[in-house]
Amino acid sequence: MERTKEESTQAAQAPQRPRRHSRPVILRHTVDGVEHELQVGGGAPITVQSMTTGKTHKVEECLAEIRQLAEAGADIVRVAVPRPEDADALADVVKGSPVPIVADIHFNHALKALEAGVAKVRINPGNIGKPEWERAVLRAAKDKGVPIRIGVNGGSLEKDILDKYGYPRPEALVESAMRHVEVCQREGFEDIVISVKHSDVYFMIQSYRLLAEQTDYPLHLGVTESGSLKTGPIKSSIGIGSLLADGIGDTIRVSLAADSVNEVRVGHQILKSLRLGRPGVNVIACPTCGRLAGDLFSVVDEVEEAVAKKGFDKDLNVALMGCAVNGPGEAAGADLGVSLGRGRAHIFKRGGTVDQDQIADAVIEMIENWDEEAENA
């Protein structure tokens, strides 16, 4: 189907979304002897993070999980360092990881984590301990050029702040974050990323909005304890998505009580849905109704699965529509797609039809040949 000039312009401009200005923070890591830098904030593409669920001291298992996350598209992986043996294992984890490693630490293992060569350290102001400990961590991080995330969590606020507000309100989370930003600034430490996570999605959104007004450090977005694969992606999409749609957020983590690979998949899907981040294929499918003229659900499943597996880096909207009546109109903003009709499907853009059992393959082939098709258009 032909597009109007206006529709083509809209589609071409779709990836341009306004972003909040933030300072750049650099994560450094070495793979096979080659040093890499990953920028968070400062207009860099929004990165997707996850956290391992296994024990960090079981190095081979931990690295296997990190590799799986990296293959799924994780840009950064965080590991917990609650025990001395985890801190001891960190150097080997960092050495074997294809992506930058962030250590989630308490004070007692912070210095060891920094020695191990982690790319970033996350501290929770609610449990970092004495002010002099925090300052010691900051000095060591500054010496090593390692950024710190001030990771405030609604469930572990400092007691005095919780007493003041009576509940982990957005103002309370922001006060905690800004208190530690000031501690960093007094030490001349500026490599800061901040998060103010809350399990209440509404409060989470308000917390980040408030924080974004007060500082230009890059923000790590997340809804904490968001739940299982059934509920977590919804809460995270609302929380993270609302903020990203406002241009707020530089790196994201979807927290799920499920296999950690799902966190990465959902994270990329959130970015893709807003046409933010790296290029990728965004599958649009109609919900179907009484006009449905074929088996759309299996086509959608097959196409989504193939798109996820092949990891295309083409920025395309692919529309899968259930009928030829409203389908073409509903798919006007798409780059390519199909509309079903009597055991066959009409193909947008390329023209022609394809049998029902070959629809998914035809769509994948169109995506694979997209550059060539665009040239011939």
Q: Which residues bind ligand SF4 (CB under 6 A)?
A: 286-289, 291-292, 321-323, 325-327, 330
Nearer to ligand SF4, 277 or 337 (CB): 337
Which C-beta is closer to ligand SF4: that of 53 or that of 326? 326
Q: Measured from the CB atom, is 264 or 321 closer to ligand SF4?
A: 321
Nearer CB in complex with ligand SF4: 15/343 = 343
Looking at beta carbons, which residue is closest to ligand SF4?
322
DSSP result, 76-115: EEEEEE-SHHHHHHHHHHHHH-SS-EEEEE-HHHHHHHHH
User: 3-state DSSP call for residue 284?
Assistant: strand
Torsion angles phi and psi, residue 124, rounded to 5: -105, 110
Token output for 367: 């995506």
Residue 291 Cβ, how far from ligand SF4 at the closest point, in Å? 4
Q: Where are the alpha helices (DSSP H) in the chain?
A: 5-13, 59-72, 84-96, 107-115, 131-144, 159-165, 170-186, 201-214, 232-245, 260-273, 296-310, 327-330, 359-368, 370-376
Place of tokens 């659900």: 297
Beta carbon nearer to ligand SF4, 162 or 292 = 292
Contact 199, 223 (CB under 8 A): yes
Q: For the CB of residue 366, give the shortest distance to ligand SF4 in the complex, in Å.
A: 19
Q: Which of 156/288 has CB closer to ligand SF4?
A: 288
Q: Determine the Cα–Cα distance for residues 294 and 205; give it in Å rounded to an integer.
A: 41
Smallest distance from the beta carbon of 295 to ligand SF4, in angstroms? 12
At residue 216, the 3 state secondary structure works out as coil
Shortest CA distance to 263 belongs to which of 242, 238, 237, 245?
237
